[in-house]
Chain A
Amino acid sequence: MTRSARLGLSLTVLAWAGLGLAPLVLDDWNIGLLTQYVTYGIFALSLGLIWGQAGILCFGQAIFFGIGAYSMALVTLGKLPWLGDSQWTGLALAVLLPMMVAALLGWIMFQGRALSGAHLAIVTLCAAVVCEIAARRWEFIGGFNGLFNVPPLSAPNGDPLSTNATYFFVGIAALLTYLLSLWIGRSPLGTVLAGIRNDERRTLHFGYDVRLHKIFVFTVSGAMAGFAGGLFTTQFGFVSPPLVGFALSTEVLIWVAVGGRSVLMGAFLGALAVRATENAMSASLDQYWLIALGALFILVVVVLPQGLFGKLLALAPPRRLGRGGTR
């Protein structure tokens, strides 16, 4: 293992250990905040998977996040009586529904002559705008103001989980999502996706149904984003149309780009870092904070195309692909 790969591995482990030990040093309020950031981190992972791994730049990732959030809200508020109102059902729907929508959208976009580049970006962006408008006008899901009073995550007996318990629940969910993405990325499937990102035509000529692979990873990503959306709703207690819209789609793109799209952990930590910076700046710089944020962002993009953590957190290739082979 090279030095940089060792550094990447230790920093990744350190980051998770740090997250695990956070309740020892942080107070109740900060843990609540961290829980929110970690939820956004799961969302960022979902984009990191398709963008960093398969090269699909989706400008409408919030569609899946929002559908997940709405699913959770509708179930736990008892608006879908035939499904009951259990949070587990809610989470299951928050994963399944966005997954199906992603599969459908992926099928539309990638079949035949697939959309890519600017076209894919603008079409997904438009899809997000259309979904947001549709959500605003659909009374059943709360219309413009959305739905509120979504119950927080609760223990089986109905009591809301404590701040720390919620944190660990969300944190473990994030860890599992991360491990799932990591598993996909480091399996031969990940190699093939990287191949598609790198040279779609070559991969096609090796006999891969490129379209199917893209739809598959898009679907997995949709499910992850929806899962993040479901967890989000339990913490924030509401859903409303901006959650499926253009603004949030752009935000997640920014998190991933700043964190580093080529490395999953970079995308995850990007969400935490950007949200935290925004909060700090918005508090201390008054009306100049947006200017500072914009400038900082330009700087990262121009000077660090790999993102803040792209280089730092790069892991060694899986053992089977290691330097010098297996012997």
Chain B
Amino acid sequence: MQCILGPNGCGKTTLFNVVTGEFAPDGGEVRLGGRNVAGLSPYRISRLGVARKFQVPGVYPELSVAENIEIPLAAGAGRYGPLSLLGYRPDPVRRDRLLDLCGLAGKAGDKVGEIAHGEKQRLEIAMLVARDAELILLDEPTAGMSGAETSAVASLIRRLRDEEGKSILVIEHDMNFVRQLECPIVVMVRGKIVAEGRYEEVSRDPRVIESYLGKRH
């Protein structure tokens, strides 16, 4: 697990967009398991085992919670084309576990546009888990959550790493949350990396403090 930290507008989301194939990079390479994937279309990169969380929760507002979960669950079958989806039956046990994971077990039938913001964020993380990806990219997973919720998400992410063995890349600007993740951190300012290390080291770095709090601190 790796965390990228940086103030708003420093280029974190753009980095994700390049890695997931949303934009082709102007130069350089993106290697996944040794293969250069730069410029591949997003669905191909996703099939190599990359799943991404969007900053504005990338959930389907017009669909129900259960349908939202079903789409990534079926993605494995979906790679063999539309016909294989017709006969696909998602594993109900797994689905219910995912619903439990995001704390929406009782709300399977609710329209996602109408659930709370924090619930959408958790739902989307559960959707990434459902996608069964090796590498999970999280773009500000706790935006809009309270302190307690943030801790819950942090422990959920740690569990993904420790129990499921996922590689996780987190983009965040919330130092408190990053600390709870207990992972290596790089700090990006204006598209460049200015510091890296564990939380304790980074949080004392003067350039980091300057970029965060203004230079006089």
Q: Determine whether A and B are in direct contact in the complex, meaning some CB atoms lie less than 8 angstroms apart.
A: yes
Question: A residues bordering B, Cβ < 8 Å?
Answer: 183-184, 187-189, 191-192, 194-195, 197-199, 201-210, 212-213, 216-217, 317, 320-327
What's the minimum C-beta distance from A162 to chain B, rounded to whole angstroms? 37
In the complex, the answer to whether A206 meets B82 with C-beta atoms within 8 Å is: no
Tell which of A207, A209, A321, A323 touches B67, judged by Cβ atoms closer than 8 Å: A321
Question: B residues bordering A, Cβ < 8 Å?
Answer: 20, 22, 41-43, 46-47, 51-52, 54, 58-64, 66-67, 70-72, 74-75, 77-79, 81-83, 85-90, 92, 95-96, 99, 105-106, 108-109, 127, 131
Tell which of A207, A317, A321 touches B43, judged by Cβ atoms closer than 8 Å: A207
Residues on A with C-beta less than 8 A from B71 are 191-192, 195, 203, 206, 208
Known: A192-B74, A194-B63, A320-B90. A205 touches B58 (CB 8 A): yes
Residues on A with C-beta less than 8 A from B59 are 202
Known: A191-B67, A213-B78. 15 other contacts (CB 8 A): A187-B88, A191-B70, A198-B60, A201-B22, A202-B54, A202-B60, A205-B20, A205-B42, A205-B51, A205-B52, A206-B127, A206-B131, A208-B79, A210-B43, A326-B95
Known: A206-B71, A317-B64. A188 touches B43 (CB 8 A): no
Tell which of A183, A187, A324 touches B108, judged by Cβ atoms closer than 8 Å: A324
In the complex, the answer to whether B70 meets A325 with C-beta atoms within 8 Å is: no
Known: A187-B86, A207-B79, A216-B82. A202 touches B58 (CB 8 A): yes
Known: A205-B51, A207-B131, A326-B96. A188 touches B90 (CB 8 A): yes
Q: What would 27 A/B residue contacts be, using CB atoms closer than 8 Å?
A: A184-B86, A188-B70, A188-B85, A188-B89, A191-B67, A192-B74, A192-B82, A195-B60, A199-B58, A201-B42, A205-B52, A206-B51, A207-B46, A207-B47, A207-B79, A208-B43, A209-B79, A209-B81, A212-B81, A212-B82, A317-B109, A321-B66, A321-B70, A324-B105, A324-B109, A325-B96, A326-B92
In the complex, the answer to whether B108 meets A325 with C-beta atoms within 8 Å is: yes
Residues on A with C-beta less than 8 A from B22 are 201
What's the minimum C-beta distance from B108 to chain A, rounded to whole angstroms? 5
Give complex CA distance A205, B54 in Å: 10
In the complex, the answer to whether A191 meets B74 with C-beta atoms within 8 Å is: yes
What's the minimum C-beta distance from B60 to chain A, rounded to whole angstroms? 4
Residues on A with C-beta less than 8 A from B51 are 205-206
What's the minimum C-beta distance from B13 to chain A, rounded to whole angstroms? 13
What's the minimum C-beta distance from A179 to chain B, rounded to whole angstroms? 13
Known: A204-B43, A206-B51, A207-B131. A321 touches B78 (CB 8 A): no
What's the minimum C-beta distance from B110 to chain A, rounded to whole angstroms? 8
CB-based nearest B residue for A209:
B43
In the complex, the answer to whether A325 meets B95 with C-beta atoms within 8 Å is: yes
Give complex CA distance A205, B55 in Å: 14
Give complex CA distance A189, B71 in Å: 9
CB-based nearest B residue for A316:
B109
What's the minimum C-beta distance from B204 to chain A, rounded to whole angstroms? 36
Give complex CA distance A184, B87 in Å: 10
Give complex CA distance A187, B70 in Å: 10
What's the minimum C-beta distance from A217 to chain B, rounded to whole angstroms? 7
Give complex CA distance A213, B75 in Å: 12
Interface centre among A194, A202, A216, A323 (most CB of B within 10 A): A202
What's the minimum C-beta distance from B145 to chain A, rounded to whole angstroms? 20
Interface centre among A189, A195, A205 (most CB of B within 10 A): A205
Give complex CA distance A325, B95 in Å: 8
Known: A195-B60, A205-B42. A189 touches B82 (CB 8 A): yes
In the complex, the answer to whether A208 meets B75 with C-beta atoms within 8 Å is: yes
What's the minimum C-beta distance from A14 to chain B, rounded to whole angstroms? 24
Residues on A with C-beta less than 8 A from B83 are 216
Residues on A with C-beta less than 8 A from B20 are 205
Give complex CA distance A320, B73 in Å: 13
Known: A205-B51, A317-B64. A322 touches B108 (CB 8 A): yes
In the complex, the answer to whether A325 meets B43 with C-beta atoms within 8 Å is: no
Residues on A with C-beta less than 8 A from B60 are 194-195, 198-199, 202
What's the minimum C-beta distance from A1 to chain B, rounded to whole angstroms? 10
Give complex CA distance A66, B19 in Å: 46
Residues on B with C-beta less than 8 A from A216 are 81-83
